[in-house]
Structures are given as C-alpha cells and as structure tokens.
C-alpha cells in the first residue's frame, strides 16, 4: 500500500493568534515529525505574523506562513494558496482553532490510501474551558483519561470515547456521498486528487460548504471518503458562530453539482497558480 512520503499540514487562520499558538504547540509535539506546516492566513493583522515568527524559531518541522489580503471570508482561496506553497504529496487541512491530538499526523498517515480522502473528527470545547486553555496554556494532549471523562461530564467536552480510543482501519469507507462530518478543519486529501479537481472553488465566498463542494467534486471524480473518527481527533476551541448569510446559496450550488457530476472548480488551483 502506498504511504504518504511527506505530509503537509495546512492550517487556516484569521486574527486569532492565541488559538493558533495553541494549535502550533500541538503540532510541535506530534509523535510523527515527518511533515511540514503551512499557515494559510486569510488576512490577519500583524500580531498573527509576529506570533508565527516567534514560533518558527523553535519549530521542529518546516513552518511557512502565507498571507492574503483581508477581503472577507475567503477560506477556499487561502487553502489553495497554502496548497501551492506546500511540498507534500498528502495534504491535511487543519483550522487554526483545532488543537491536534498527539497522534494526529501519524493516524492520518496510517489511514492514507490512494483513491480516498479522510474526513476527520473533532471534540468541541466549551467557552469556559477554551478560555482556561488559552489563558493558562493548558496542554490538551497531556490530559489523562479520568480528567477527560470529568470534562465530558461537566459539559466542557462534547465527546469522551473518541479522546481515549483509537479504532483500526476497518469499516471506514463510505461508498455513497454523505454530508455527515465533512469538515475542512480536519480533512486529508492526496495532492494528486486535489489537482485532479482543481482544488477548492474560490467562487465560494462567505461562510459555508466550500468543504462539502470539494468532497462532492472529488466523489464525482471517483475519490471515496474514509471516516477518520476514533483516530484523527482534534480539540476545537470555542468561538462565536460565523455569519452564515451565504450558507443556503452555497449549499444549493453543491447540491446541483452533485446532480450534474461536476468535478472541476470554476476558480481553483490552476487559476491561482497562474497569477500567484
């Protein structure tokens, strides 16, 4: 079975350097250090640049920072920008408010298989506990099972078993398209498959469904999904909900593309590479 020789972890961020620092600290202590990190910055102010520069000095893996001008929510474009800046043959997309478990990279490597993407899982943290994590610099990776259970019972975690169990690579393949757990905050795709469908579609502006669109087009191109739950967990730090004014119209586009069998992004990696 083909293994991912080099993994690129692309971390999307926007004006939340304290959360980004927690995510990077989680990346620095992975049990697999054969990867690189690309910070895909959707127009943050200088404090994010300063945060990344300070952490670059002690990063145990290659760490780059790419930035685009702030012109509203343009996650699709900045993920393409990060992809173009990366060198890995396997891309793991991670959000700048999702702290990876210590085995995050190694589990994504274990689940990687040609012809498949892996849609990962997340553990939601409460507002109160998120504040504690960021102000007291708590190490989520070091929490014992009993502490995690207590946090679940107190409502600070929305899951428990996923934080202590790793299940084998059995029964993870989805033969039919499903909306369930499509989250680009934790999504792994072979670079060749991204190039096949022209990456994320930058015509999706405003919050919502640019990740589902990618998965639909990959599915139309013959790439199946694997479920990464109970293997590739991240701890999602609390934040206020983004404005979802475009979500309904974006969803309609995705539904139509599922029917039409669309595979290509109308504005994606190729167009960005031509002007970058």
Per-residue pLDDT of 170-181, as tens digits, reads 999 988 888 777
pLDDT, one tens digit per residue, over 73-95 is: 899 999 999 999 999 999 999 99
Tokens of 130: 């998120």
Query: Looking at residue 5, what is its pLDDT?
Result: 67
Count of CB atoms within 10 A of residue 47's CB? 12
Indicate whether 244 pLDDT > 60.
no
Mean pLDDT of 194-215: 90
Query: Looking at residue 245, what is its pLDDT?
Result: 52
pLDDT, one tens digit per residue, over 91-120 is: 999 999 999 999 999 999 999 999 999 999
Give domain status of residue 17, yes or no: yes
Indicate whether 242 pLDDT > 90.
no
Q: Cα separation of 117 and 186, whole Å?
A: 11
Indicate whether 267 pLDDT > 50.
yes
Give domain status of residue 42, yes or no: yes
Give domain status of residue 205, yes or no: yes
Give domain status of residue 52, yes or no: yes
Tokens of 23: 């995510």
Give domain status of residue 67, yes or no: yes
Mean per-residue pLDDT of the chain: 93
Give domain status of residue 2, yes or no: no
Q: CB neighbours of 91 closer than 8 A, spacing ≥ 6?
A: 7, 8, 10, 83, 188, 189, 190, 191, 194
Mean pLDDT of 213-223: 95
Would you place residue 68 in the very low, low, confident or very high pLDDT band (cuts 50, 70, 90)? very high
Q: Cα separation of 182 and 198, whole Å?
A: 19
Tell me which of 96-100, 209-213, 268-272 is least confident: 209-213
Between these two residues, 246 and 266, which has the higher pLDDT value?
266
Query: Looking at residue 1, what is its pLDDT?
Result: 44
Q: CB neighbours of 133 closer than 8 A, spacing ≥ 6?
A: 22, 99, 125, 140, 237
CATH number of the domain within which 71 lies? 3.90.550.10
Query: Looking at residue 208, what is its pLDDT?
Result: 75
Give domain status of residue 174, yes or no: yes
Mean pLDDT of 38-54: 97
Q: How many structural domains does the chain have?
A: 1
Q: Cα separation of 10 and 231, whole Å?
A: 19
Percent of the chain residues past pLDDT 90, beyond the cut: 84
Residue 48 lies in domain: 7-275
Query: Looking at residue 96, what is its pLDDT?
Result: 97
Give domain status of residue 1, yes or no: no
């Amino acid at each position: 079975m083909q293994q991912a020789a080099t993994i690129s972890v692309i971390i999307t961020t926007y004006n939340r350097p304290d959360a980004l620092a927690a995510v990077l600290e989680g990346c620095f202590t992975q049990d697999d250090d054969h990867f690189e990190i690309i910070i895909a910055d959707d127009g943050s102010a200088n404090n994010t640049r300063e945060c990344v520069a300070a952490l670059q000095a002690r990063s145990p893996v290659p760490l780059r920072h790419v930035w685009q001008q702030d012109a509203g929510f343009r996650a699709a474009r900045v993920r393409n920008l990060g992809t173009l800046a990366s060198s890995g043959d396997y891309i793991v997309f991670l959000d700048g408010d999702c702290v990876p478990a210590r085995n995050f990279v190694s589990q994504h490597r274990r689940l990687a298989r040609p012809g498949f993407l892996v849609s990962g899982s997340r553990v939601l943290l409460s507002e109160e506990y998120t504040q504690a994590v960021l102000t007291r610099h708590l190490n989520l990776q070091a929490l014992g099972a009993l502490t995690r259970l207590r946090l679940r019972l107190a409502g600070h975690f929305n899951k428990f078993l996923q934080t202590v169990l790793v299940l084998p690579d059995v029964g993870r393949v989805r033969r039919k398209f499903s909306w369930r757990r499509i989250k680009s905050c934790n999504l792994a795709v072979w670079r060749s498959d991204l190039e096949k469908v022209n990456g994320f579609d930058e015509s999706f502006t405003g919050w919502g469904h640019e990740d589902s669109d990618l998965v639909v087009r990959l599915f139309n191109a013959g790439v199946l999904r694997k479920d990464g739950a109970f293997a590739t967990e991240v701890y999602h730090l609390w934040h206020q909900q983004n404005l979802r004014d475009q979500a309904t119209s974006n969803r309609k586009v995705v539904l139509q593309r599922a029917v039409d069998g669309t595979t290509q992004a109308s504005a994606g990696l190729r167009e960005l590479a031509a002007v970058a």
